[in-house]
C-alpha cells in the first residue's frame, strides 16, 4: 500500500510503499477511505512533540473493515468505522472507573516505537503513530480503537468526528460540562474550535464568543453558533471579552496550543469560571497565571480528546449531524489526494483552512 512517511522533523512527508500483516487476535484491518489533516500531526512534524521516526502519521480517519482477527466480535468485514486514538483496554483502573480516555494499559495502548504493525523494504523500523497511522491506504488497529457507524453517514464527514469534532465538542460537553444559559469564549476557530462552538450551541450556551484573526473563520463561526466575534488585532482580547460579558465568561476554551492564549483564557474568566486548555502547548513550555485570581475560585484544567467515551459519543454526534444540529459540511476546506498531503499541511500552517481531508478513492 501507499503511505505518507515522516523521516525527519521539519521535512516533507514522503509517499512510500508500506506493508501490513494480516490481523492478529483482537486486531482489525481497515481500508482507509478518508483521513483528516489535524494540527496535532503538524506538531509532531515540526518536532514540538517527540515521536520515534520514521513513522506513518495520521489519526483522524474513517474507513471500511476488510478483515478481522480472532476474538473480534464487535465488527465484521464491510462495516463502516471511525477510528480514535483513545484506544482502551477496558480493565485498568481508569477504564473500570469510566475514564477510558485515560487508559493506562500499554499492552493495548502501545507506547510509541513498540508497534510491529507496519513494515517496508528498508532496514530501519517503521513506527505506527498513536496506534493508528491514518495517512495510509490501510490501517491495522486494535478493535478498541474503532467505533462502528451507520452506513448512510458520509465517510468524509465521519472522519472529522474521529478527532477534531470529538475533541472540541467533548471539551465543552464532557470536560467542562457547559450548562444552558452560560457564557463561553473559544480562542481559535480551526476545526477543533469550530467543534467547540457548535458544541456550545448544542449545549444551550447563552453567549458564545469566537476569537480569531481570520475574518472568514469568524464568519463561519457565527453560522455554527457564535453570538459574538472578537478579532485580537483590534486590541486587548481579554478586555474585549470582559466588556462584552460585563466582567468575564463562565467558560473559556483555548484551542491554539500557545502560552499567551492559555494565559488569556484564564484572565478572561468571571469569578468562579473555568478555563479548559484543549490545544497542545509545546512540550516543556510553561504558562504563568496571577495567583490572586485563584482566590475568586477561577479554575484551569486540561482536556484529553474531549474526555470522550467515543463508542457512545461518536454515534450521538452522527445523529446530531443527521438532524441538522452539527454542521460538518462547512468545515471541509479542501479534498486532497495522498500525493497532495504536504500542500495541505502548508495551507493549514498558513491558516487558510478549517479542515482538509485526504480522499483515498480520489
Q: Is 59 annotated in the active site?
A: yes
Angle between helices 191-203 and 215-224 (to 10 degrees): 30
Q: Is 89 annotated in the active site?
A: no
Evaluate whether 137 touches 33 at the Cβ level (below 8 Å).
Answer: no
Write down the catalytic residue from 84, 92, 95, 163: 163
Helix (H, G, I), strand (E, B) or coil at 33: strand
Q: Is 115 annotated in the active site?
A: no
Write down the catalytic residue from 43, 142, 250, 309: 43
And the C-alpha cell for 249?
A: 465568561
Q: What is the DSSP string of 184-209?
A: EEEE--SHHHHHHHHHHHHHT-SEEE
DSSP state of 277: E
Grid look-up 457547559 returns 178
Choose among 281, 229, 237: nearest CA to 255: 281
d(CA 128, CA 57) in angstroms, rounded, equals 7
d(CA 182, CA 273) in angstroms, rounded, equals 10
d(CA 169, CA 307) in angstroms, rounded, equals 10
Q: Is 92 annotated in the active site?
A: no
Write down the catalytic residue from 40, 86, 133, 303: 40
Cross-strand bridge partners of residue 64: 31, 80
Parallel/antiparallel/unpaired status of strands 355-359 and 332-336: parallel
Grid look-up 503513530 returns 129
Write down the catalytic residue from 38, 84, 92, 95: 38
Cross-strand bridge partners of residue 236: none
| C-alpha separations of 343 from 44, 178, 261, 348, 356 in Å | 17, 37, 27, 9, 10
Evaluate whether 165 touches 326 at the Cβ level (below 8 Å).
Answer: yes
Helix (H, G, I), strand (E, B) or coil at 168: helix
Q: What is the CA radius of gyration of the chain?
A: 20
Write down the catalytic residue from 39, 59, 250, 251: 59
The tally of CA atoms less than 13 A away on the side-chain side of residue 193 is: 30
Q: Is 163 annotated in the active site?
A: yes
Residues tagged active-site:
38, 40, 43, 59, 163
Amino acid at each position: 500500500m501507499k503511505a505518507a512517511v515522516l523521516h525527519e522533523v521539519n521535512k516533507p512527508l514522503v509517499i512510500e510503499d508500506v506493508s501490513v500483516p494480516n490481523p492478529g487476535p483482537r486486531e482489525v484491518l481497515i481500508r482507509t477511505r478518508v483521513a483528516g489533516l489535524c494540527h496535532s500531526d503538524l506538531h509532531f512534524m515540526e518536532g514540538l512533540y517527540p515521536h520515534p521516526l520514521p513513522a506513518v502519521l495520521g489519526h483522524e480517519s474513517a474507513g471500511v473493515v476488510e478483515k478481522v482477527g480472532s476474538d473480534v466480535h464487535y465488527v465484521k468485514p464491510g462495516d463502516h468505522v471511525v477510528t480514535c486514538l483513545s484506544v482502551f483496554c477496558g480493565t485498568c483502573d481508569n477504564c473500570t472507573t469510566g475514564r477510558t480516555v485515560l487508559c493506562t494499559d500499554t499492552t493495548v495502548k502501545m507506547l510509541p516505537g513498540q508497534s510491529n504493525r507496519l513494515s517496508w523494504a528498508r532496514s530501519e523500523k517503521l513506527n505506527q503513530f498513536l496506534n493508528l497511522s491514518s495517512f495510509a491506504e490501510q490501517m491495522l488497529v486494535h478493535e478498541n480503537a474503532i467505533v462502528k457507524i451507520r452506513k448512510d453517514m458520509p465517510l468524509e464527514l465521519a472522519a472529522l468526528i474521529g478527532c477534531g469534532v470529538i475533541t472540541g465538542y467533548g471539551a465543552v460537553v464532557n470536560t467542562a460540562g457547559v450548562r444552558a444559559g452560560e457564557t463561553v469564549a473559544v480562542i481559535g476557530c480551526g476545526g477543533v474550535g469550530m467543534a467547540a462552538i457548535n458544541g456550545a450551541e448544542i449545549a444551550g450556551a447563552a453567549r458564545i464568543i469566537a476569537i480569531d484573526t481570520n475574518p472568514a473563520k469568524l464568519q463561519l463561526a457565527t453560522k455554527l453558533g457564535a453570538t459574538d466575534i472578537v478579532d485580537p488585532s483590534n486590541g486587548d482580547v481579554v478586555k474585549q471579552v470582559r466588556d462584552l460579558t460585563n466582567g468575564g465568561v463562565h467558560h473559556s476554551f483555548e484551542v491554539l496550543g500557545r502560552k499567551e492564549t492559555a494565559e488569556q483564557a484564564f484572565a478572561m474568566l468571571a469569578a468562579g469560571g473555568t478555563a479548559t486548555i484543549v490545544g497542545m502547548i509545546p512540550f516543556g513550555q510553561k504558562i504563568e497565571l496571577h495567583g490572586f485570581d485563584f482566590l475568586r475560585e477561577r479554575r484551569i484544567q486540561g482536556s484529553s480528546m474531549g474526555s470522550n467515551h467515543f463508542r457512545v459519543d461518536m454515534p450521538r454526534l452522527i445523529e446530531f449531524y443527521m438532524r441538522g444540529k452539527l454542521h460538518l459540511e462547512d468545515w471541509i476546506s479542501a479534498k486532497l489526494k495522498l500525493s497532495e498531503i504536504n500542500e495541505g499541511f502548508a495551507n493549514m500552517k498558513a491558516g487558510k483552512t478549517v479542515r482538509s481531508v485526504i480522499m483515498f478513492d480520489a
